[in-house]
Structure 1
Amino acid sequence: MPVERLERRALRLVQSEAAPLYLFALAADEVDLVADVARISRDQAGKLIGYQRPEKRSHVRQILEYLDSGDVLFPNGLILALPDTVRFKSSRGPTTTDGLATAGTLTIPLSASSDGPRPAWIVDGQQRSRALAQTKNTRLPIPVAGFVADTLELQRDQFLRVNTVSPLPVNLVTELLPEIVAAPSSRLSARRLPSALVDMLNRDPESPFHNLIKRASADPVERKHLVVTDNSLVEALKESIESPSGVLFPYRNIAAGTTDTEGIRRVLLIYWTAVRETFPDAWGLPPAKSRLMGGVGIRAMGRLMDRVMAHVDLSSQDALVQAKNELSRIAPLCHWTQGTWPELRLSWNELQNMPRHISALSNLLVRSYLSARTGSR
């Protein structure tokens, strides 16, 4: 008969009244009873669920080999997000607390069935938890730090913060940022709006990037058909939003803390649709076959956007036609899928997603565009 609850001696630390922190121990075979992993993915409506990256089997195997090796010292604990149904009862006596921590008993409710949902989520230590679930050393005591978090937003927030020492994959951080209340740092905060815009571009049926962007939550099978790395597009949008000369910069009211997202959406859909229609043979292909869809192409065309869209009347019904006319000024010199860029002295497939090539291609496109506009007057 399954155990209905688990009781453990614990220390209670109050760092935040909103989220009590408990330090306690679990046996290796109890971790799987108490906690589960919230894998990052999206539901049928496209809403982001979870926050954990995919399991690294080689890492799990290495940990498991160590756990089964004999004398084990395993100080690397787990961080769990506990449900608000946990209960803590402090011990009696004058030595219960030292002013920093209070000793007592923590009670964690468990599922009524062995295959039921786990009450807690693993915020840090998912690879360790998988190894612990398989080890022969089933009663090995494992240190655990658990905080009460009944919302997914708080769990995601803590997940990003505790993983700043061991960097998370950039695309995982990028996709999670719009889903949390406050970014862990000013650097990450600056990526929240661009990341949300990239999500919009990927999900909006009117977007030329619809279902083309690789995101951490993408299904492994679907990833084979995705061609644009989200980080490249995030960086391109971030530059335009932050630079005073960027076409997206005026859409943010920094003093009021507001953003005209519909205005930004219109700019992006018009420009990138014009790019797609200007280079139809290069659009939608994997970067190995089209450098337009690779990081070097996305970043360079993102910088050209700031120049091109400054000459497009967005209120006009023929704004798309205007954008295509502007892009036609540089179309003949572009070699996304074959040939050579004479000015760069590089074959099309020698262009790489590196700062030197991004800068060189950006400068070429912008310089050529401005020269063509000046010459046409």
Structure 2
Amino acid sequence: MNILKVPALRIKQGSNRYLYSAAINGKLISEIASISRIRRHDTLLDGYQRPEVSSHITEIKNYIDSENPLIPNAIVIAFDKTVTFESITDESDHGYLNIPYCNEQDIIPGFVVDGQQRSAALREAENSDFVMPVSAFIASSVEEQREQFMLVNSTKPLPKGLLFELAPHTSTRLSSSLQKKKFPYEILERLNFDSDSPFHGKINTPTNPDGVVKDNSILKMIESSLSDGALYRFRDPATGRGDIDKMVDLLVNYWLAVRDTWEDQWDKKPRDSRLLHGVGIMSLGALMDAISDRHYQHEIPSYDQFYEDLQKIVEYCKWDHGFWNFGQNDQRKWNDLQNTSKDIQLLLNYLVGRYLRSA
């Protein structure tokens, strides 16, 4: 095992946390720290980084190879416990970071928390003498690395879907906007990855890019029902969470009934049918709340109850052909409906109204 020994300044933060400031040759960073891109193994979330952006990396590489480059922003690295700090004296905050690298197990001790594109550009640059500022900390777990990644990047223009998908897998207190998404996205993940869910593998997320249903549409549908719909009755107001198993059971029963009611629409992409388009997801979510209210005494309506009630509106639905008849002089071609607040409200009022009049 090789040990990279670099001068470092130890900075105490909090009661027992330390940050280490160092300068490391840019070519060595890829040997001591990897980029953990977000992915899934079965249903388990792994990693936390976004994919590299090749055009941005090329721009940084060209700058590093220019005549007089200067990059003042430090790369942030989370090391595991194999990395140690060695003080010059017992009481000094000046010393050395001892970083193992290129060991026999090919285990890299660090992960890049912030600066993945800079580290990639340094790896590809011809300039072999460029020294990069590094801020490092020693993490106790992968979860801590993930939390630091979110805290560092929460004020930057990261894709919201990536932050939402990471949120359920952290225990730290996030910003209020992200905190509100944790539980709804946890429900979304159950719908996306539970094998008995009709949405199994169908919801498009950063780790499931082949999904055809936008995660934001499902998330809004869940949030609306949690706020004042069918899912609200299983919610714990004190924690903002609730009985997730019952919530998922209700959602699975309903959307299985939707799938079987419009079986020929279920596998169509949103551009070819409005059933799994944002406007369809939100309006059918409101209908789920209305049907659940009618069967309130059953707590969780069964698949059969949902399926029977959905038959009452089938003739009025024009998901992939024809015209919606919203009233006198108010007809809309099926693909004129868009994922806008106005169109969503128009369609959900129509579906719920038709259902209540036929119930």
TM-score, normalised on structure 1?
A: 0.87
In the alignment, what sits opposite 1:42?
40
SS in 2 for 1:153: helix
Q: 1:249 aligns with which of 213, 232, 248?
A: 232
The CA deviation string for residues 307-331 of structure 1, in whole angstroms up to 9 with x for no partner, is: 1211236849982221122222322
Task: Using the TM superposition, give the Cα deviation of residue 130 of structure 1 relative to its aligned residue in structure 2, in angstroms.
Answer: 0.8
The CA deviation string for residues 150-197 of structure 1, in whole angstroms up to 9 with x for no partner, is: 311111111111111212212211211111113411221111111111
In the alignment, what sits opposite 1:282?
265
SS in 1 for 2:13: coil
Contact 2:246–2:300 (Cα < 8 Å) also in 1:
no
In the alignment, what sits opposite 1:201?
191
Task: Using the TM superposition, give the Cα deviation of residue 209 of structure 1 relative to its aligned residue in structure 2, in angstroms.
Answer: 0.6
In the alignment, what sits opposite 2:315?
332
Task: Using the TM superposition, give the Cα deviation of residue 257 of structure 1 relative to its aligned residue in structure 2, in angstroms.
Answer: 6.8
Contact 1:82–1:148 (Cα < 8 Å) also in 2:
yes
How far apart, in 2, do the equivalents of 1:235 and 1:362 lie?
14
In the alignment, what sits opposite 2:215?
230
How far apart, in 2, do the equivalents of 1:371 and 1:263 lie?
28
SS in 1 for 2:56: helix
How far apart, in 2, do the equivalents of 1:170 and 1:318 lie?
33
Structure 1 residues 355, 66: CA separation in 2 closer, same or farther (over 3 Å shift)? farther
Matches for 1:140-155 after TM superposition, within 5 Å: 140-155=130-145
How far apart, in 2, do the equivalents of 1:68 and 1:335 lie?
59
How far apart, in 1, do the equivalents of 2:20 and 2:289 lie?
51
Contact 1:25–1:141 (Cα < 8 Å) also in 2:
yes
How far apart, in 1, do the equivalents of 2:325 and 2:220 lie?
27
How far apart, in 2, do the equivalents of 1:160 and 1:359 lie?
34
How far apart, in 2, do the equivalents of 1:363 and 1:11 lie?
63
Task: Using the TM superposition, give the Cα deviation of residue 19 of structure 1 relative to its aligned residue in structure 2, in angstroms.
Answer: 4.0
Contact 1:157–1:183 (Cα < 8 Å) also in 2:
no
SS in 1 for 2:22: strand
Contact 1:171–1:215 (Cα < 8 Å) also in 2:
yes
Structure 1 residues 152, 32: CA separation in 2 closer, same or farther (over 3 Å shift)? same
The Cα RMSD (Å) is 2.3
How far apart, in 2, do the equivalents of 1:5 and 1:345 lie?
73
Which moved further from structure 2: 73-82 or 250-259? 250-259
Which moved further from structure 2: 298-307 or 28-37? 298-307
Contact 1:271–1:309 (Cα < 8 Å) also in 2:
no
TM-score, normalised on structure 2?
A: 0.92
How far apart, in 2, do the equivalents of 1:342 and 1:65 lie?
59
Structure 1 residues 329, 198: CA separation in 2 closer, same or farther (over 3 Å shift)? same
Give yes or no for the alignment of 1:189 onto 2:162.
no
In the alignment, what sits opposite 2:25?
27
How far apart, in 1, do the equivalents of 2:141 and 2:132 lie?
25
Matches for 1:120-199 after TM superposition, within 5 Å: 120-199=110-189
Give yes or no for the alignment of 1:354 onto 2:352.
no
Task: Using the TM superposition, give the Cα deviation of residue 237 of structure 1 relative to its aligned residue in structure 2, in angstroms.
Answer: 0.6
The CA deviation string for residues 20-58 of structure 1, in whole angstroms up to 9 with x for no partner, is: 211111111011111101111111x42111111222111
In the alignment, what sits opposite 1:319?
302
Structure 1 residues 327, 180: CA separation in 2 closer, same or farther (over 3 Å shift)? same
How far apart, in 2, do the equivalents of 1:365 and 1:18 lie?
58
Q: 2:353 aligns with which of 364, 367, 370?
A: 367
How far apart, in 2, do the equivalents of 1:93 and 1:49 lie?
39
Query: What letter is aligned with 1:24?
Result: A
Query: What letter is aligned with 2:97?
Result: L
In the alignment, what sits opposite 1:8?
6
Q: 2:100 aligns with which of 96, 109, 114?
A: 109
Query: What letter is aligned with 1:347?
Result: K
Contact 2:250–2:300 (Cα < 8 Å) also in 1:
no
How far apart, in 2, do the equivalents of 1:18 and 1:328 lie?
62
Task: Using the TM superposition, give the Cα deviation of residue 364 of structure 1 relative to its aligned residue in structure 2, in angstroms.
Answer: 2.5
Structure 1 residues 198, 329: CA separation in 2 closer, same or farther (over 3 Å shift)? same
Q: 1:211 aligns with which of 201, 206, 213?
A: 201
Contact 1:183–1:189 (Cα < 8 Å) also in 2:
yes
Matches for 1:35-74 after TM superposition, within 5 Å: 35-43=33-41, 45-74=42-71
In the alignment, what sits opposite 1:99?
none
Query: What letter is aligned with 1:331?
Result: V
Query: What letter is aligned with 2:348?
Result: S
SS in 2 for 1:118: coil
How far apart, in 2, do the equivalents of 1:67 and 1:325 lie?
66
The CA deviation string for residues 60-112 of structure 1, in whole angstroms up to 9 with x for no partner, is: 11211222222111112211111122221233499x5xxxxx32222112132
Structure 1 residues 157, 337: CA separation in 2 closer, same or farther (over 3 Å shift)? same
How far apart, in 2, do the equivalents of 1:299 and 1:258 lie?
21
Unaligned runs of 5+ in 2: none
Contact 1:111–1:119 (Cα < 8 Å) also in 2:
no
Task: Using the TM superposition, give the Cα deviation of residue 370 of structure 1 relative to its aligned residue in structure 2, in angstroms.
Answer: 2.8
